[in-house]
Amino acid sequence: MSGRLVLVRHGQSFGNVDRRLDTRPPGAALTDLGRDQARAFARGLPHHPAFIAHSVAVRAAQTAEEISGELDLNPREFEGIHEVQVGELENRNDDDAIAAFETVYQRWHQGDLDVPMPGGETGNEVLDRYVPVLTQLRMRYLDDDAWHGDIVVVSHGAAIRLVSAVLAGVDLHREVQRREHRDHQERRGHDASSNAHETLRHDQLFR
């Protein structure tokens, strides 16, 4: 086995620009900047990946298409790795909705994973649908002695941060504090998806 799982947030979407809690697939499309971010990410990779996976959301599929176009690969769609489902907060961009999301999300990072978003998912429900997809990729590809190359998984910010923190054994409370400034910038429409990504080695994720 030789390779890593590289979890990448999609490029800037129109939902990001509007500061909307756009979580229900298919969701908003990428902006022109989002497409540029995806291509820049592909060109900046230190190693040519072997495989591109993406969620069912339009913005993730479009990001994967742009990355794949630069690398001459064929992206594949996987269910289960879409964004945290926010239920009653869907498509809202008012301060009360953002605060409600942040309150629950911070509790997840403090270890209270059974707390649900209003009318939406709990942290454990996100993990229960997301982690099996990564396990499938590991077992089918990274566990193969003949496999060589990274797997890039295009997904969504809140889900990636939760899953990567849990699987890498990160102290969730300290992690949410470290990321508060970056999250604030993202909510204001400054998507850094093509430059800020989680690179998790196979032995970190599944030790």
Q: Rounded to an integer, what distance in angstroms lies between the CA atom of residue 1 and that of residue 131?
A: 20
Q: What count of other Cβ atoms lies within 10 Å of the Cβ of residue 54?
A: 26
Looking at residue 149, what is its pLDDT?
A: 93
Region 172-177 average pLDDT: 49
**Per the residue annotation, which of 10, 82, 109, 156 is the catalytic one?**
10
Q: Rounded to an integer, what distance in angstroms lies between the CA atom of residue 87 and that of residue 18?
A: 18
Region 184-199 average pLDDT: 45
Q: Which one is predicted more confidently, 174 or 84?
A: 84
Domain ranges of the chain: 4-205
Looking at residue 165, what is its pLDDT?
A: 85
Residue 200, strand partner residues = 5
Looking at residue 180, what is its pLDDT?
A: 54
**Strand (E) or helix (H) holding 30:** none
Over residues 98-157, the pLDDT tens digits come to: 999 999 999 998 999 999 999 999 999 999 999 999 999 999 999 888 899 999 999 999
Looking at residue 207, what is its pLDDT?
A: 25
CATH of domain 4-205: 3.40.50.1240
Q: Rounded to an integer, what distance in angstroms lies between the CA atom of residue 189 and that of residue 184?
A: 9
Q: Rounded to an integer, what distance in angstroms lies between the CA atom of residue 24 and that of residue 14?
A: 14
**Per the residue annotation, which of 65, 83, 90, 121 is the catalytic one?**
83
* First-residue to last-residue Cα distance in the chain: 15
Looking at residue 79, what is its pLDDT?
A: 97
Annotation says 148 is catalytic: no
Q: pTM of the prediction?
A: 0.81
DSSP 85: P
Over residues 36-86, the pLDDT tens digits come to: 999 999 999 998 999 999 999 999 999 999 999 999 999 999 999 999 999
Region 25-38 average pLDDT: 97
Annotation says 156 is catalytic: no
Region 149-170 average pLDDT: 90
